Structure 1
Amino acid sequence: MLRRFTIQTRLTVAFSALALLVALLSAAAWLTSRLQNQSVNRFNHHVVLSMKSADELWVAMLSSRNHEKDMLLSIGDMQALQALRADWKQDQERAIALLDDITARVIDDTTIGRLKQIGSELKAYREAAAPVFDQIVAGTIGDSLSGRQALQAAAGHLGRAEATLLEARGAVAYFTGVVMDKLNGLYVVITWAVVAALVVSIALVAALAWRVSRSIVLPLRETGDFAARVGAGDLTTSLQPVGSDEVARLQGGLVVMRDALRATVSQVRQATDNITNASTEIASGNLDLSSRTEEAASSLQQTASSMEQLTSTVKQSADAARQANQLASSASSVASRGGQVVSQVVATMDEINT
């Protein structure tokens, strides 16, 4: 299946898949970190800061109770009473602010109900204690026993507020344990999810790498074996290109090369056979030519002997011809002289006849 795609495409897909897996793992790590950070922030916002504010509220209540005692002990010292009353008011304002902060952070309905009860008790405490403190500062209450008796109702409200705060702190502590269990469970789930994603990613990358490398290495190995057999002279070996990638095109080229070599070898073999046949015919022709040459040499010897005889005959004929020519020349000379003689005789006869 992979052989239908080019090696470049396969490697691109493999590296893209690897990059995608890395991106997914990075995203998962980022999401995990974000979830953990959000969980820690929620825990810090709803639990840790709530516990801190509850502790500070508890301190503010204790400080208010201490300021009560100090004011009862400082009756008659107007300056100290005014300072202590101002500090008490600051404690109450701080307690209100802390209570509002805790109420805004807590999400448990039961704890919110307790906090509202604490707020009601603190309000009742302030309403009951403030007139008593005004009387102490004004000097209407002149001894600590009377002041303590006047503050009994306010002290009851503060005690109930403290008891309710302890219950609320216990509820917050329980809620803290629940949140911690959820955080631990979330951490375990996230850890296993990351481990599972990592294992799956490694398995997928390993499988993809093995599949891609196998689709490249095996065809190259087959191609190398085929080239080695062809190089050793085995032109009958076969190779079936599969797919349309670079290796398949290389295999197709090697098959074409093998066919071309096979055709060339066939042509060379045929030419060799033709040369062998021609050599045989040439050798036979050479033997015939040698026989004919010997016959021609014998004929030439006979011809040479005949030519010698002919030359001797021609020489004798030439000599006879020269002698005949000499005889003809002598005859012509004799005839010329005979003509002259006849002419002289005729002339003489004419003279005689005259």
Structure 2
Amino acid sequence: MNNFKIGQRLGLGFAALLILLVAIAGFGLRQVSKLNDRIEFLTSVDEGKLLALSKTQFAVGLRAIAARNLVLVSGTNEQKGDIALVTSAQKDIDAGIAQLDTLMKGEGSSQEERQMLDQLRSLEATYLPIATRIGQLATSQQTEAAKSALVNDCMPILRQVIAHIARFNEVLRANSTANVAAADQAYELAKWTMLATSLIALLLGSAIAWMLTRSISVPLQQAVTVAQNVSAGDLSSRIVVKGRDELGQLMTALKGMNDSLQSIVGEVRHGTDTIAVASDEIKRGNMDLSARTEQQAGSLQETASAMEQLTATVKQNAENAQQANQLAASASTVAAKGGDVVHRVVNTMDSISESSRKIVDIISVIDGIAFQTNILALNAAVEAARA
């Protein structure tokens, strides 16, 4: 189902529900049509047969009364009325039997009903010649013969006809009651069948709705969970893409975004590690530079001390030179005082000359120290610029 787009799934789901609705409506209409046919059958066929038999029964009784009166009366005018009544009753009997025959040709009539109709025809076929002969005897004024035929021949057949019609009526009513019961049973069956069909349709509709809801809500919930994890900084979510619908495309996009973020975070982490290593190296370099700077500071301090000592020495030498000059002046003054004094002066001059050479050496040492100091300061500036 996830391979179908959401619109297609919704369309199929609603189409299935509409098909179920149409199926239930069609089944209900079919059952209602069957019940209507059954009701029409009960009202038109069963009631028609009972009505036709009732008319036939009434005509048989009317015919029997007219035949009896035809025998009992002696006037021609009175007999004409009875004869007309017998003739009309006979037509009603024939019409009732014909109507019964027509109604029993259709569906819903039992074999017993047809057999009883055939028996009624047979009894009528037996009764009619006897009744006709009695009518002829009565109209020819053969009253005794007519009475004898009425009592001995006609009455036994008439009793059979009346009894048969009564049994026939019971059979028709029993069958009508059975048909009503069948109609009630068909109604109950239709009712429970429609209820069962509606329940099945409800279950199917619920299942379709549940499947549609899950096919949409579950991927959406997964997408929301992934988005929440990403917003919280958790990129370890396992994203499984199922289907090629819009939600599948959304999960694919989320998976690509999550993978891209993982790659970016990995690159940033690698860069951070590299920066940390570089920072550690810079820290060690700064520590080395600080140590060398302290060392250079110590050297500079030693140099300053040496310079102070050199200054003191130079000052002392200057004082010595001044004293030498004074001595030289004194020597010039007292040169005449003797060779010993000259010899001392010469020695003193040698000492002065030796001290001057030492001063020159010391100045050279100071120049070298100053040059090294400049070199160290330049190295310190270069290291500071690198840091």
TM-score w.r.t. the length of structure 2 is 0.62
1:105 is matched with 103
- Give ranges in structure 2 of 5+ residues lacking alignment: 287-387
Find the residue that maps to 2:186 and give its secondary structure.
helix
Q: Which residues in structure 2 correspond to 1:29-44 (within 5 Å)?
A: 29-44=28-43
- Aligned residue for 1:130? 132
The CA deviation string for residues 11-37 of structure 1, in whole angstroms up to 9 with x for no partner, is: 122112111211211121122122222
> Which residue number corresponds to residue 225 of structure 2?
225
8 Å Cα contact 1:67/1:84 also seen in 2: yes
Output the CA distance in 1 between the equivalents of 2:154 and 2:72: 17
Rounded Cα–Cα distance in structure 1 between residues aligned with 2:237 and 2:170: 87
Amino acid at match of 1:251: M
Matches within 5 A, 1:189-204: 189-204=189-204
Give the match for residue 209 of structure 1.
209
| Residue identity in the other structure for 1:126 | L
Structure-2 separation of matches of 1:270 and 1:13:
51
- Distance in 2 between residues matched to 1:232 and 1:73, nearest whole Å: 120
Q: Contact conserved, 1:114 with 1:168, CA < 8 A, in 2?
A: yes
1:75 is paired with a residue of what secondary structure?
A: coil
Secondary structure in structure 1 of the residue aligned to 2:230: helix
1:200 deviation in Å?
1.2
- Could you tell which deviates more after superposition, 253-262 or 83-92? 253-262
Amino acid at match of 2:131: A
Task: Tell me the CA shift for residue 51 of structure 1.
Answer: 1.2
- The aligned counterpart of 1:58 is 57
In 2, Cα distance between equivalents of 1:179 and 1:15: 42
Q: Using the alignment, how far apart are the partners of 2:132 and 2:71 within structure 1?
A: 13
Q: Which amino acid aligns with 2:200?
A: V
User: Hey, what's the Cα distance between the residues in 2 that align with 1:121 and 1:266?
Assistant: 112
Displacement after TM superposition at 1:219 (Å): 0.9
d(CA) in 2 for partners of 1:269, 1:113:
105
The alignment's C-alpha RMSD in Å is 3.2
Residue equivalent to 1:155: 155
**8 Å contact 2:97–2:121 — kept in the other structure?**
yes
User: Which has the larger displacement, 203-212 or 82-91?
Assistant: 82-91
C-alpha distance after superposition, 1:284-322 (max 9, x if no partner): 9xxxxxxxxxxxxxxxxxxxxxxxxxxxxxxxxxxxxxx
Displacement of 1:260 after TM fit?
4.2
Please tell me the residue identity of whatever aligns with 1:52: L
Aligned counterpart, 1:331? none
How do 1:294-305 residues align onto structure 2 when only pairs under 5 Å count?
Answer: none
**Is the Cα contact below 8 Å between 2:71 and 2:135 reproduced in 1?**
no
SS of residue paired to 2:201: helix
| d(CA) in 2 for partners of 1:124, 1:90 | 19
Give the CA deviation at 1:150.
3.8
Deviations 1:168-207 (A, max 9, x none): 1122223233333333333332222222111111111111
Where in structure 2 are the equivalents of 1:284-299 lying within 5 Å?
A: none
- Counting matched residue pairs gives 278
Counterpart of 2:96, as a letter, is: L
C-alpha distance 234-122 of structure 1, shift in aligned 2 (>3 A): same
CA contact (8 A) 1:115 1:165 kept: no
CA distance in structure 1 between the aligned counterparts of 2:147 and 2:14, rounded to whole angstroms:
83
Q: Distance in 2 between matches of 1:34 and 1:55?
A: 30
- Cα distance in 1 for partners of 2:68, 2:229 equals 110
After TM superposition, give the deviation of residue 211 of structure 1 in Å. 1.4
Tell me which residue corresponds to 2:79: 81
In 1: Cα distance, 2:236 partner to 2:178 partner: 79
3-state secondary structure, aligned to 1:243? coil
Percent same amino acid among aligned pairs?
20
Deviates more, 1:174-183 or 1:216-225: 174-183
SS of the residue corresponding to residue 241 of structure 1 reads: coil
Matched, 1:119 2:121: yes
Match of 1:11 in 2: 10
Q: Is the 8 A contact 1:50 1:105 kept in 2?
A: yes
Query: How far off is 1:239 after superposition?
Result: 2.5
Residues 257 and 165 of structure 1, relative CA distance in 2, 3 Å threshold: same
Q: Secondary structure at the match of 1:10?
A: helix
Question: Counterparts of 2:275 and 2:119 in 1: how far apart (Å)?
Answer: 124
Structure 1 stretches of 5 or more lacking a match? 285-354
Alignment-derived partner of residue 91 in structure 1? 89
Structure 2 distance, partners of 1:275, 1:109, is 108
Between 149-158 and 47-56, report the one with greater CA deviation.
149-158
Larger deviation, residues 38-47 vs 242-251: 38-47
Task: Confirm or deny: 8 A CA contact 1:122 1:158 kept in the other structure.
Answer: no
Q: Does the CA contact (< 8 Å) of 1:125 and 1:155 recur in 2?
A: no
Q: What do residues 118-170 of structure 1 show as CA deviations (whole Å, max 9, x unaligned)?
A: 222223322222233244345x24x6x76433423223322211111111112
1:45-68 superposed Cα distances (whole Å, 9 cap, x missing partner): 542221111111111111112323
Q: Distance in 1 between matches of 2:113 and 2:240?
A: 79
